[in-house]
Structure 1
Amino acid sequence: MAAIKKSNCFFHKHGHKADCRVHNTFMVIFAIIQIILSQVPNFHKLSPLSVVAAIMSFTYSSIGIGLSIAKIAGEGIGKTTLTGKPLSKDFTSMEKMWTTFSALGDVAFAYLFCFILIEIQDTLKSSLPENKQMKKATATPILASTVFYMLCGMLGYAAFGNDAPGNFLTGFGFYDPFWLIDIANICIVVHLLGAYQVLAQPFFGFVESWSKEKWPQNKFVTKEFSIWRFNFNIFRFVRRTIYVIVTTIIAMIFPFFNDFVGLLGAGTFWPLSVYFPIAMHISQARIRKYSFTWIWMQILSLGCLLVSLVAAVGSTRGLITSVQTFKPFQSVS
C-alpha cells in the first residue's frame, strides 16, 4: 500500500527527487478492513476469499517472474556468488551466519499451511474417501507453490544478485513500468487480506467453540442476532475486533516483517508440520519401534527440530538488533 502511494507521488505529483516516505497509516486501514472481514462467522464461508487470494498470489508472482526475466535479458545477470552475499567490513561472517539462520525461519514459515489442512478436511463431504481427497488437495498446491517459489527465488537472485531485496518487487523501483508494479502490489494487498483470515479463522473458531462449551448459559457468548440475513454475535464481534486491534498495535510497535515471519516459522514448523504428523502416522500405521522406517522418521524429525532451533535463534537475534535502532509507532516506508 505504501509502495503504491509512493509510486503515485513520484510519477504524478513531485518527481523522483521528492520525499515520498509513507508512515504507518496504512496499517490502520488494513486493520479496519480486517475487523470487517473477521465478522465472517466461520472458516467454511471463506472459500470465495481463498480463491481470490490464490489468484492474487499467482498474479503478483507471475509479474515478479516476468520483470526478473526482462531485467536479466536487458541488463544481464546480477553479481552473484555460490555462497551468497560476500563478506565485507559491514557484513561479517557472524552476521552472515545469523541472517542465514533467520532465512531458514522464513522458509519454514511457508509450511504454516499444514494446520489449515485440518480445517479443510473438516469441510469435506463423506462421499469419497478423505485420504484420497486430501492427497489431491495437498499435492497440487504444494507443487504449484514450490514451482513459483523456486522461480521467484532463482530468477530474483539472478536479476539482482547479492543486492536482492527481501521483497524483490521493491527492487524494480518506482520507474517504468510503474503501473505493472502497482498492479502486483495491489494483488499483494488483496492476497494478504485473505491470508490473514485463512490463518486467523481456525483460531477464532477454536476459542469461540471452547467458550460456548465453557459458558453454555451465558447469552453474551451464545446468543445470535439476525441482521439483514447475517448472524451477529456480540461476543464474536468484540473478541475478534480486540484480536485485530492487538495484532495491529504489535505490528506498529515492531514493524520487522522478515524477522517476525522467521520467528513464527521457526516456532510452528517442527511441532505442527513434522512432529505431530509423524507421531500420528506411526500410531495409525502401527510402525514397529526401532524398525528402519521408525528410525528414519525420528532422524527426519530431529533434523527438522534443529532447523527450527537455529531459525528461532537467528530470528530472535534479528529482532533484538532491529529493536535497538527503531522508535515505536514511527515506521516509515
Structure 2
Amino acid sequence: MGEENAATMNHHQQNHRVSDLSMDGISQGGSKCFDDDGRLKRTGTVWTASAHIITAVIGSGVLSLAWAIAQLGWIAGPIVMFLFSFVTYYTSVLLADCYRSEDGKRNYTYMEAVQSNLGGVKVMLCGLNQYLNLFGVAIGYTIAASISMTAIKRSNCFHEKGDSSPCHTSNNPYMIIFGIVEIIFSQIPDFDQIWWLSIVAAVMSFTYSSIGLGLGIAKVAETGFRGSLAGISIGTVTKAQKVWRIFQALGDIAFAYSYSMILIEIQDTVKSPPSEEKTMKKATLLSVAVTSLFYMLCGCMGYAAFGDLAPGNLLTGFGFFNPFWLLDIANAAIAIHLVGAYQVYSQPLFAFVEKWAANKWPESKFITKDIKIPIPGFKSLNLNLFRMVWRTIFVIITTIISMLFPFFNDVVGILGALGFWPLTVYFPIEMYVAQKKIPKWSSQWICMQLLSLVCLVISIAAAAGSIEGVVTDLKTYQPFKTTY
C-alpha cells in the first residue's frame, strides 16, 4: 500500500528520474526508446493529429449549422463560417507554438502551457473555464443523444401507426439509458485506453453528417433552392427575436469549431523531428480545411433544403417519412458517436480531479488503492473505488441536469460562447505575446488585441442570445416532462 501511495505522490519526481536516466541513455547513444523528457517515444504524425482534431471537431455541432445559416442568410452565413474557421486556424497556430516553453520544456496540458507562459490567477481562470466547458459538453451530448434515440422511437411509431398518429415520446428514459452506458464506459481508467472508442465515434460522425448532406441534396433536387440573402424574415419572427437568434447562431458556429481546449494534449502525442509545432501547424491547416468544407456543405445544403424552416437539429427536419430506415441509421450513429465523444471530453476532467485527490489525500486507501479483478481470457481489471464512485456521481449529475434543461440548441450556444473567446482566442494570443515578447502598442500587438476584442464581443452576444433562448424555453416547460 505504501508503495502505491508513493507511486501516486511522486509521479512527477519519477518522470524527472526517468528523464535523467534517458538523458544518460542519449549520451550513450541509447535514445531510440525515449524522448527528450524521458517518456516513451511519441509516434504521432500529421495524419494522426489531423484525425484526432477532426474527431473532436466534427461532432453534433454540425447538425445545428443549417439553423445557424438560416438566421444569418446566404451572404452573412457562409462569410461568418469562413471567418470562424480562419480565426480558429490562426489562434491554433499561435497555441501550437506554446507547447514548448522558452527553455525547451514540454507543456503536457493547456493549463501547464498557461502556467509556464502567463502564471498567476490566469492559470486558475483557464482551468475553471476549460473544465466547466468539458462538464457543459457532457450535458449537451446527453441531451443530443436522447433526442436522436427519441427520433428513432417516433420514426418507427409513425411507420407502424401512420403519419397522423401523435407518437409523443418522453426523452427522459433515453437520457437515463445513455447515463447508464456512460457510467460503464467511464470506468475505463484513462485517455490512452479509449482510442478504439474514439475511432468508432469518428466513423459515426462522418456517417450521420454524410446522411444529412445526402438527404439535403435529395430534398433540394426535389423542391429547389430555398432561403434568402438576409436569412429568416421579420414577420416570421419579430425584430427582437431576429437579433437574439443571430446572436445564438454565432454561438452555435463557435461551438462547432472549438477544439482548442484539447489541442496541447493532441500535440503531446506527436513525434519529432520535425518539430512538434511544424507537424501541428500542418495538421491544423488540413483538419480545419476538411472541417470547414464539411460544415459549409452540411450547413448550406440544409438551409437550401429547408429555408427559413431549417430545424435546430438537421436530421429532425426530414420528418419521419421514407426512407425511415436511413434516418434511423443516422440517429443511431449520432447516439453511438456521442457515447465516445462524451468520454473524449470527460476524461481530462476525470484525470484532473483524480490527480488532485491523490495529491490531497495520499494516505487514503479509498483514493489510491487499485483492486485487481481477474477476467478469464483477458487482462485483469484494475478497479479503483474512488474512481468508480466519483465518475458515477459525475455521470448522474450530468444526466439529471440534462433532464432538467433539455434545450439542445440553446445549450450548444452557451457552451460555444463560454469556451470560444477565452480558450480559442484570449489565452493563445496572450501566451504568444508573452513568449515572443511582442512589444506593447506595436502594430502586431494592436492587431492581436483588436482580434481578441472583436471575438469577446461576439462571445458576449452569443451567450446573451443563447441565455435569452433558454429563458424563452423555460416559460413553457415543466421539469422532467419534455416530450417530442
Give the TM-score range, shorter chain.
over 0.9
Counterpart check, 1:61 vs 2:212: no
**Structure of greater Rg:** 2
Give matches, 1:275-290, under 5 Å.
275-290=426-441
For structure 2, the residue ranges without an aligned partner over 5 or more in a row are 1-148
Q: Say whether 1:315 aligns with 2:315.
A: no
2:335 aligned counterpart, secondary structure: helix
Q: Deviations over 1:140-193 (max 9, x none)?
A: 322222111111111110011111111121111111111111111111111111
Give the match for residue 328 of structure 1. 479
User: In the alignment, which of 288, 295, 303 is matched to residue 157 of structure 1?
Assistant: 303
Match of 2:191 among 29, 39, 43: 43
CA distance in structure 1 between the partners assigned to 2:336 and 2:278 by the alignment: 31
For 1:261-280, what aligned pairs fall within 5 Å after superposition?
Answer: 261-280=412-431
Does 1:209 find its partner at 2:360? Answer: no
Query: How far is 1:121 from its partner?
Result: 2.5
Offset, 1:215: 1.0
In structure 2, the residue matched to 1:95 is 241
Residues of 1 paired with 2:289 and 2:367: CA distance? 42
Aligned-partner SS, 1:225 = strand
Which SS does the other structure have where 2:382 is aligned?
A: strand
Match of 2:166 among 19, 24, 47: 19
Residue 303 of structure 1 deviates from its aligned partner by 0.6
Provide the residue aligned with 1:179 in structure 2.
Answer: 325
Q: Give the number of equivalent residue pairs.
A: 330
Answer whether contact 1:260 1:315 (CA < 8 A) is retained.
Answer: yes
Supply the distance in 1 between the matched residues of 2:178 and 2:167 (Cα, whole angstroms): 20
Alpha-carbon contact 1:44-1:123 (below 8 Å) kept:
no
Partners of 2:273 and 2:365 in 1: CA distance: 37
Aligned to 1:230: 381
Matched letter for residue 108 of structure 1? A
1:118 to 264, 283, 287: 264
State the TM-score, normalizing by the size of structure 2: 0.66
- Asked whether the equivalents of residues 119 and 202 of structure 1 are also in contact (C-alpha less than 8 Å), the reply is no
Instruction: Please tell me whether the aligned partners of residues 2 and 26 of structure 1 are also in contact (alpha carbons under 8 angstroms).
Output: yes
Q: How far apart, CA to CA, are the structure 1 residues paired with 2:479 and 2:193?
A: 36
Relative distance call for 1:322 and 1:302 in structure 2 (3 A) is: same
Inter-partner Cα distance in structure 2 for 1:128 and 1:208: 34
* Paired amino acid for 2:243: M
Q: Paired residue for 1:293?
A: 444
Tell me by how many angstroms 1:200 deviates. 0.9
SS across alignment from 1:226: strand
Q: Secondary structure at the match of 1:143?
A: helix
- Residue 83 of structure 2 corresponds to none
The CA distance in 2 between the partners of 1:121 and 1:241, in whole Å, is 30
Give the SS at the match of 2:198.
Answer: helix
2:153 corresponds to 1:5:
yes
* Separation in structure 2 between the aligned mates of residue 126 and residue 226 of structure 1, nearest angstrom: 36
**RMSD after superposition:** 1.4
User: Which segment drifts farther, 69-78 or 306-315?
Assistant: 69-78
Distance in 2 between the 1:257 and 1:173 partners?
Answer: 18
- Cα deviation digits, residues 239-263 of structure 1 (max 9, x gap): 1110110011011011111111111
Q: If the length of structure 1 is used for normalisation, what is the TM-score?
A: 0.95
Task: Write the distance in 2 (CA, Å) between the matches of 1:119 and 1:56.
Answer: 23
Alignment-mate amino acid for residue 86 of structure 1? S
CA contact (8 A) 1:259 1:319 kept: yes
Summarize deviations over 1:288-331 as a string: whole Å, max 9, x none. Answer: 22111111110110010001111111111111111111000001
CA distance in 2, matches of 1:237, 1:141: 35
- How do 1:122-133 and structure 2 match up within 5 A? 122-125=268-271, 128-133=274-279
How big is the shift at 1:232?
A: 1.2
1:75 is aligned, of 210, 223, 226, to 223
CA distance in 2, matches of 1:48, 1:129: 27
One-letter identity of the residue aligned with 1:241: T
Structure 2 distance, partners of 1:76, 1:15, is: 27
Identity %: 56
Alpha-carbon distance between aligned partners in 2 of 1:205 and 1:184, rounded to the nearest angstrom = 32
2:130 corresponds in structure 1 to none
Gaps of 5+ in 1: none
Distance 2:336 2:282 in 1: 26
Are residues 1:306 and 2:457 paired? yes
Deviation for aligned residue 1:125: 4.3
Residue 205 of structure 1: CA displacement?
0.8
Q: For residue 289 of structure 1, what is the amino acid of its counterpart?
A: K
In structure 1, the residue corresponding to 2:372 is in which secondary structure? strand
Alignment partner of 1:259 out of 407, 410, 418: 410
